[in-house]
Structure formats: C-alpha cells, structure tokens
Amino acid sequence: MDTDFLITTGQGVFETLRYEDGRLWFWEHHLQRLMRTLTYFAVDVSGTDFKSIVEDHIAQSGAEGPLRVKLLVVFPFDRLPKKINEGSIRVYLNKTAPLSDRPEALSLQTRPSPFSADYPLNPFKTINFGPFFWERYQAGAAGFDDVLFFRDGRLLETSVANLFAVKDGQLFTPPVQEGVLPGVIRQMLLNYLNAREQTIHWDNLQQYDYFFITNSLIELQPVKRVDRFEFEGYEESFARLLKKWRAAKETGMIP
C-alpha cells in the first residue's frame, strides 16, 4: 500500500481530539464515529487497537499536553479488499492552546456550501478538506475569522466546527440531514445539555440571542458577528453555558 499516494489523493479518514491532563478527551465517542466511518467504507480493522497506537505515540514523543491529536487512517477508496496494517495509520501531534474561560468571539461570513445536502461523504471526516479551507481563506480575505456555510438559505457549519444558535436558553443546531458533520461535541450537547436539532434560516438570524460553534479542540466558542449582523449582550449567557458545560465535563456527567 502506497501510503503517501493515498494521502496526497485524499484517500483517508481521520479523527481530531484533545489530549490534556493525561487524557484523550471523549475517546470512546471519537472511536465510535471512526468505526462507523470505516464500516461504511468496508475497511477491515480486525485486531487493530487504535487507542494503544495513539497512547504509545504520545508516550514515545515525550510531548506534554494540551495537544491536538490527529488519528489518520488511509486506504484505497476505489477497490476491495480494504485491510489496514500498521502503515495505514498515522498519528500527528501538535501543541494546542489551553481552554480559555473567556474564549474570543468570532466573526463569520456566510458562503454557499461546496457540497449538496445528499453528498454521501458528508457524515464522514475524510481528508478532502481543500474546498473548506479555500472558502475559509475567502472569508478571511474579507475580514472574517471563518466561513459559515449555507444552502438554500439554511445555515449549516463552519470550515471546522458545528453551529449552535441560542434562544431564551434553548440550544439549536442544524440537523445532520442537512449535510452537516455529526461532531462529537455537538452530540454531547444534544445528549446531555438538551440541545435540539432545528433548521436555522439565514432570514431568521435576528431572532436568536447569539450563536456559538463547537469542535473537539475549542469545545465551545461564541460568535459575535455573522456577515453584517452583530450579536449583542450575549456574554453573560454564554459564560453561564460554558460554566455548565465545563462542570458537566469535569464531574463526569458527560462521559
């Protein structure tokens, strides 16, 4: 198997997670999503202990947290059988910032999604991220922190994070059927903090108190502006939400 060829042609899937305080946060949830992805692609992973591979790599590196851990599994998309071996798996480690009690609020520019809602690979983290980062660059060139994708007037997700809207303390996030990635932190909020799936229309932007985004590195981060619309007075509400999230995480309510 030519691993370099597979990587350079986008034939692989990955998980990105946070390593901190000697722990791979939400490991079981990441592993479940990875296994669903590999099952979809009919990849034989029998006998593969992904957690041991990641933990051994961290130990051998001598790196200390907090770390961004990327677990990459490559395989040919276009043929069978797909049996992975040690050379099919790569682990990348990078230092990442400590989680802040006051994360910086972001500005987002809406741009059309490069994929249709029924594109079959939407639910999976493949390494074909080029279009997302191109759109992120375009948003950055216009003075924004990131892109917020939309389709048919429906707001979806950023280049690297899921979207949430807040109204009177209730959390809403676009349904996966609209083509968003089923993020791990997103699922935690649905399971444990009573978030709901609901279509979020661009035309209804002003009805929400504020937006925030989620992924496994930043966890929760507020949004201060979408296009020319600015959210105001959200800081205390977001601070309470973040405190609630951190307490649930640290006490083990969120496994």
How many helices (H) and strands (E) the chain has is answered by: 6, 16
pTM of the predicted structure, to 2 decimals:
0.95
pLDDT at position 80: 83
Residue intervals in the chain for CATH 3.30.470.10: 3-95
pLDDT at position 50: 97
Q: Considering the domain 106-250, what is its CATH architecture?
A: Alpha-Beta Barrel (3.20)
pLDDT at position 126: 97
Residue intervals in the chain for CATH 3.20.10.10: 106-250
CA distances from 171 to 4, 37, 135, 167, 189 (A): 42, 27, 26, 7, 8
Residue 2 CA to residue 92 CA, distance in Å, equals 19
Q: What is the CATH number of domain 3-95?
A: 3.30.470.10
pLDDT at position 89: 96
pLDDT along the chain (255 residues), means of 10: 90 97 96 97 94 97 95 94 87 97 97 94 94 97 99 98 98 97 97 96 96 98 98 97 94 84
